[in-house]
Chain A
Amino acid sequence: MSTAVLPYTVEPHPVTGVYSGKLGIWLFLASEVMLFGGLFSAYVFLRVGAEAAGSPAAWPTHEETHLSWVIGGINTLVLIVSSVTMVMAWASLKMNDFAKGKMYLWLTAALATTFLVVKLAFEYWPKFQHGLVPAKNNFFGIYFTLTGLHGLHVFGGIVVILYFILPGSKLWHRDKEYYANRIECTGLYWHFVDLVWIFLFPVLYLL
């Protein structure tokens, strides 16, 4: 708990106006933007330079991708709702309602799990069964890389949220504001994961 003696872990810095954790998570998100930026750059680069239709290496048409906008759309809505529950969890904690906050966190974790289950059971699994594997062509390569990396981020989010629901919730009883801050940081991360999906959905499913 050595962190506790450091200044501005909980209270905002009077000049910069933020507590350290929040600044830290924003910087981390900036690096995440560049990580996904590298992959989006690869997507644009490969798609612009793709071979002409007819070659097996050509960019597949919309029909050839066999990606269902219905499943993708449902998952988009699931993530959006989870973002709302996440921000509601923070708001409830800020209004000193721990039970409600915890309930919203459970909801967020459940929605995130739904997202992953839908992704794996209704998208990845049938794709693999039909031989639509990453090696099929560069569209599937980048599709699996992008959604896989995004899925890992969702999974990481679930782990963090469960940590704060279960063992991490002890912090609430020691320092309410500290706990609320940590949920805010988790929320920032979670909204970012949602935000990435907001771009992934049209780019992969609709264009």
Chain B
Amino acid sequence: MAGSHADISKHVRSYMAVFAALAVLTIVTVAVAQFHFSDVGNVVVALIIAGFKATLVASIFMHLKWEKSISIWWSLGLCGIFFLALLFLPVLTANDHPPQVHMGTWDVTHQVAKSGGH
């Protein structure tokens, strides 16, 4: 990776570019959130932008773009797979109910009626 001064100054230019991109994308995130596409749509758009920003930070600021260490890539790859398992398998499990499984202990929750005034 970066060894000489010339390399570093080249880097510095890319840091500034990334900074500009991140600032713009932050504004875009906020701006886009003011529109309502659909419940899922907004989540997808927000996560795509966040993912893009994260990729910029990881690849340029954290130098992953220049990273050649296979150990680091393997570790991150494993981490990514298990992260996805951790994120989705519990939700998938919670949503795969056999027939006639219902949520809620009581038939009537009076709190629903009461909560109007709060």
B30, B61, B111: the one contacting A73 at CB < 8 Å is B30
Q: Are B86 and A41 in contact (CB under 8 A)?
A: yes
Mark A1-36 against chain B: 1 for CB-CB distance below 8 A, else 0.
Answer: 000000000000000111000110011001001100
Q: Are B15 and A201 in contact (CB under 8 A)?
A: no
In angstroms, Cα B36 to Cα A131, docked, is 29
Nearest A residue to B103 via CB reads: A49
Cβ–Cβ < 8 Å partners of A33 in chain B: 79-80, 83
Given A54-B115, A198-B50, A202-B29, A191-B58 contact (CB < 8 Å):
yes
Cβ–Cβ < 8 Å partners of B2 in chain A: 94
Given A94-B2, A95-B5, A198-B50, A87-B79 contact (CB < 8 Å):
no
Cβ–Cβ < 8 Å partners of B58 in chain A: 191, 195
Chain A interface residue count, Cβ-Cβ cutoff 8 angstroms: 48
In angstroms, Cα B86 to Cα A184, docked, is 30
Mark B39-59 against chain A: 1 for CB-CB distance below 8 A, else 0.
Answer: 000110011011001100110
Q: Are B54 and A199 in contact (CB under 8 A)?
A: yes
* A151-203 interface with B by 8 A CB criterion: 187-188, 191-192, 194-195, 198-199, 201-203
CB distance from A41 to the nearest CB of B (A): 5
A23, A91, A192: the one contacting B11 at CB < 8 Å is A91
Cβ–Cβ < 8 Å partners of A80 in chain B: 19, 22-23, 26
Q: Are A199 and B50 in contact (CB under 8 A)?
A: yes
Q: Are A187 and B61 in contact (CB under 8 A)?
A: yes
CB distance from A130 to the nearest CB of B (A): 13
CB distance from A144 to the nearest CB of B (A): 20
Q: Are A195 and B54 in contact (CB under 8 A)?
A: yes
A81 at the interface (CB under 8 A from B): yes
A56 at the interface (CB under 8 A from B): yes
B38 at the interface (CB under 8 A from A): no
6 smallest A-B Cβ distances: which pairs?
A206-B33, A30-B79, A202-B46, A18-B69, A37-B83, A191-B61
28 contacts between A and B (CB under 8 A): A16-B71, A17-B69, A18-B69, A23-B69, A23-B71, A26-B76, A30-B76, A30-B79, A33-B79, A33-B80, A34-B83, A41-B90, A48-B94, A49-B94, A54-B112, A73-B27, A76-B26, A81-B19, A84-B16, A91-B11, A192-B62, A194-B57, A195-B54, A198-B57, A202-B49, A206-B30, A206-B33, A207-B43
Chain A contacts to B: CB under 8 angstroms: 16-18, 22-23, 26-27, 30, 33-34, 37-38, 40-41, 44-45, 48-49, 54-56, 69, 73, 76-77, 80-81, 83-84, 86-88, 91, 94-95, 187-188, 191-192, 194-195, 198-199, 201-203, 206-207
Not counting A49-B94, A55-B112, a sample of 11 additional A-B residue pairs whose C-beta atoms are within 8 angstroms of each other reads: A18-B71, A30-B78, A34-B83, A37-B82, A37-B87, A41-B90, A69-B33, A84-B61, A95-B9, A198-B57, A203-B50
